[in-house]
Amino acid sequence: MLGFLWSLGAFIVALGILVAVHEWGHFYVARLCGVQVERFSIGFGKPLWRRVGKSGTEYVIAMIPLGGYVRMLDGRIDDVPPELEHKAFNHKSVFQRMAIIAAGPGVNFIFAFFALWLMFLVGLQTVKPVIQNVKPDSIAAIAGVSEGDEFLKVGDRATPDWEAVNLEMVSRIGQEEALVTLLTPNNGEKVVTFTLDNWNFDPDSESPLSSLGITPYRPTPTLNVGFIGEGSAAQQAGLQVGDKLVAVNGEALSSWQALVDFIVDNPAKEIELTIERSGQQQQLRATIAQQDTPQGQRGYLGVSPTFEPWPEGYVFTHQYGIVEAIGKSLDKTWRLMTLSVEMIGKLITGDISFKNLSGPISIAQGAGTSAGYGLAYFLSFLALISVNLGIINLVPLPMLDGGHLMFYTIEWLTGKPVPEAAQEWGYRIGGVLLFMIMGIAIMNDIARIA
């Protein structure tokens, strides 16, 4: 329950910030263009707080935190007296209207840059992309990747950490191959070719790396308990953080992986755990929980180990000075923008399935997880979602900013507005498509947690 409330709170904070940023872009440029803004609302529904500014704009925080809007004086909707026509949105030039609409997504990109700049100033701790294992006969093994190799580049993009590797490999979905530069354990470099014709990657069941046959390096787990899930089978059995697991059903444990293999293969069974606590051994009874997965039913105990220390030099921090962070932030913002466009294209071409779409539940989980890791990770999450929000809003679909820009571009090229009847039909069709996509995303979220 506490985890749910944490995720919900982080989601509301993240969405509130991003919506406020987006709508402020529309608001600010509208005011610059002399448009009278009637209302600036964060959220929909019943107002929880409101205030009227000196300019007459009503500022509102509403009950449903799933969006927001800026309501401008508009002769197509309002009865505008002659003396205020110069302040109406529809009486502005087509370029001014385009600027007002484009400002929302534009400010999302600016905010993403600012969030990443702050992240690089604060410092983001990460690890080198060193490979621990390569699955035999996998795409990586066939390419010539070996244990101990370290990713240096995918294509011409540097990959200093696993996040960068994941982003670059995902961007290759639908391509025939990917060139990868690796650093070998003896400090030599080699370039290998990943053949991706038969790359079957399902993000709901595996990571891009595991689907390629790669296991990232991480320190060896000990048999000491480092974390226990709330309400898990381990907690119900009485396990505590710091306990050392000694045996299962009287059989001595040689490693943490041996415990994992036993638990996974024995869902719903009652077992006896021998543990060492405060120098004394004792026995605990536990009933292994079960999970339904694409591979069938698997056992689940709800416990994680502590790990041996990282080797020297594996863990480092992305932290830069004020000026250097600007270049790093610009580069990452641009890469997130181009990757978002690429993913939309792959969705249209069918290289990515609609079942991979994520909705508000997944975003809430991501917000809670990133906030739990610290400020730098939350800033990185905000930047990613802000870029996605900006790109999605630029899709030329009526109901979105991109749809309005499409109509105004046609007006600019032809010299006359798109007929209102055509716009109305566009909004109806766009609304149906948008709600269908949202429905698919929400159903995907529900399926992932079911």
Residues marked as catalytic = 23
CB atoms closer than 10 angstroms to residue 315? 13
Q: Strand, helix or coil at 87?
A: helix
d(CA 18, CA 95): 25
- Where are any strands of DSSP class E within 189-325? 189-195, 214-216, 221-228, 244-248, 251-252, 270-277, 280-287, 289-293, 296-300, 303-307, 315-318
Residue with tokens 């390629």: 212
Residue with tokens 């609409």: 101
CB atoms closer than 10 angstroms to residue 385? 22
The answer to whether the CB of 39 falls within 8 A of the CB of 70 is yes
d(CA 435, CA 427): 12
d(CA 180, CA 139): 12
The answer to whether the CB of 272 falls within 8 A of the CB of 249 is yes
Give the torsion sign (CA, 405, 407, 410, 416). negative
d(CA 363, CA 378): 12
Half-sphere exposure (Cβ direction) of 174: Cα atoms closer than 13 Å = 13
d(CA 375, CA 124): 9
d(CA 387, CA 110): 9
| Token reading at 366 | 């991501």
Q: CB within 8 A of 152, min separation 6: which ones?
A: 158, 159, 181, 182, 183, 189
The angle formed by the CA atoms of residues 90, 96 and 102, to the nearest 5 degrees, is 105
The answer to whether the CB of 281 falls within 8 A of the CB of 275 is yes
Q: How far is CA 403 from the centre of its chain?
A: 25
Residue with tokens 């505008």: 80
What is the b/e burial string over 251-275, where b = at least 16 CB atoms within 10 angstroms of the residue's CB? eebeebeebeebbbebbeeebebbb
